[in-house]
Amino acid sequence: MNIPSATAETIAEGARILRAGGLVAFPTETVYGLGGDATQGKTIARIFEAKGRPAFNPLIVHVADRCWVADLAEADDRFEKLARAFWPGPLTLVLRRRAGCPASNLVSAGHDTIAVRMPDHRVALELLRGVGRPLAAPSANASGTVSPTLAAHVAASLGDRIDLIIDGGPCPVGLESAVLDLTQTTAMILRPGVITAEDIARVIGRIDIAREDPAAPKSPGQLASHYAPSLPIRLNATIGAAGEALLGFGATARATLNLSPGGDLKEAAANLFAMLRALDDRGKFTAIAVATIPATGIGIAINDRLERAAAPRL
């Protein structure tokens, strides 16, 4: 498949395809997104089909500007404060859909809520402005597998099912956005990210963190098994057993790869998915052992992804 680099011309071509109802993968600061016009129901149905994503798992709608949200959702004071503080950036806000919201009901998986975010990436923003409409853009990979942080990851996972991949290099943040539910009196974190609970609480005061009921997760996408490579994952490893790849952090001895030799959580987040993919090689290894990641700050989001990657597969 042809994977053009991001230029004014290829972004304009992507915008044309999206307006016509096609699917275009593009870089954001978090991971590559599989974009489709959020207002075209047929296009959104194609996104679910291409990813093999369960229909109960709603999609995040991306906007080029905070003011685009007025059409889509009931935005309150907390929304304004958070968008001003963190947008563009890796924070998704779940709001009530507005009456007459032009986004397809499929993006909301039939609920009366909608998740919105403004990405902090030049290519994503130019594409959004070129289309002039909000774009649904889940991670551009097959549902349940490791998220893509390079254009080549998208090609390997979905290459034959989408119309264009725009290559904008590696995604600088490397972990999906934090998802915050603002539809209740108390704001609730549904998915941790590099914008932490403490960061959010500083702006709007008290928040809760979703306690998950695996039978009925609050954020339908937060399934126990997700982000899974094909090899099994073993957590909190100090040494790699025979046959295992060892994914280290900080001073881990004899690591096959190290998320951050200097122990920097931001660097570890940016490397996580690409390194899991690099070690996911059945020809060389029997499993991937992962060193302990401190459960503070960004480490909470990294551990969230690792626990799901290690969970029993469906």
Which residues here bind Mg ion, judged by CB under 5 A? 139
Helix/strand/coil for 277 = helix
292 binding partner (options ligand AMP, Mg ion, none; Cβ < 5 to 8 Å by kind)? none
Among residues 10 and 303, whose Cβ is nearest to ligand AMP? Answer: 303
Question: What gap in Å lies between CA 292 and CA 269, rounded to an integer?
Answer: 14
| Residue type, position 49, single letter | E
Contact 150, 165 (CB under 8 A): no
d(CA 214, CA 216): 6
Nearer to Mg ion (CB atom), residue 105 or residue 143: 143
- Residue 58, binding choice from Mg ion, ligand AMP, none, Cβ under 5 to 8 Å by partner class: ligand AMP
* Minimum distance, C-beta of residue 221 to ligand AMP, in the bound complex (Å): 2
**Closest distance of CB 108 from ligand AMP, Å:** 5
For the bound state, the minimum distance from the C-beta of residue 283 to ligand AMP, rounded and expressed in Å, comes to 29
Please say which residue, 107 or 255, places its beta carbon nearer to ligand AMP. 107
How far, in Å, CA of 176 to CA of 187, rounded?
19
Task: Provide the 3-class DSSP secondary structure of residue 85.
Answer: helix
Report the partner that residue 219 touches, choosing among Mg ion, ligand AMP, none (CB closer than 5 to 8 A by kind).
ligand AMP
CB of 226 to Mg ion, least distance (A): 7
Which is it for strands 24-26 and 33-37: parallel, antiparallel or unpaired?
Answer: antiparallel
Binding-site partner at residue 108 among ligand AMP, Mg ion, none, CB < 5 to 8 Å by type: ligand AMP
Measured CA to CA, the distance from residue 284 to residue 257 in angstroms comes to 14
Are 155 and 3 in contact, with CB atoms under 8 Å apart? yes
Q: How far apart are CA 226 and CA 223, in angstroms?
A: 6
Question: By the criterion CB under 6 A, which residues form the site for ligand AMP?
Answer: 57-60, 94, 108, 111, 113-115, 138-139, 176, 179, 190-191, 219-222
In the list ligand AMP, Mg ion, none, the entry touching 174 (Cβ below 5 to 8 angstroms by class) is none
User: CA nearest 10: which of 100, 93, 130?
Assistant: 130
Closest approach of ligand AMP to the CB of residue 61, in Å: 8
If we measure between CA atoms, which residue out of 253, 115, 235, 114 comes closest to residue 176? 115
Residue of minimal CB distance from ligand AMP? 221
Nearest to ligand AMP of 125, 189 (CB atom): 189
Residue nearest to Mg ion (CB): 139
Q: State the binding partner of 122 from Mg ion, ligand AMP, none, CB within 5 to 8 A by kind.
A: none
Enumerate the β-bridge partners of residue 73.
Answer: 97
Q: Report yes or no: 285 and 234 within 8 Å, Cβ to Cβ.
A: no
Rg (CA), the chain: 19
CA atoms within 13 A on the CB side of 261: 5
Size of the chain, expressed as the number of residues it contains: 314
Q: Which does 150 bind (CB under 5 to 8 A by kind): ligand AMP, Mg ion, none?
A: none
Q: How far is the CB of 263 from ligand AMP (least distance, A)?
A: 27
Supply the minimum distance, in Å, between the C-beta of residue 53 and Mg ion.
Answer: 8
290 touches which of ligand AMP, Mg ion, none (CB within 5 to 8 A by kind)? none
Rounded to a whole number of angstroms, the minimum distance from the CB of residue 250 to ligand AMP is 28
Closer Cβ to Mg ion, 140 or 233, answer by number: 140
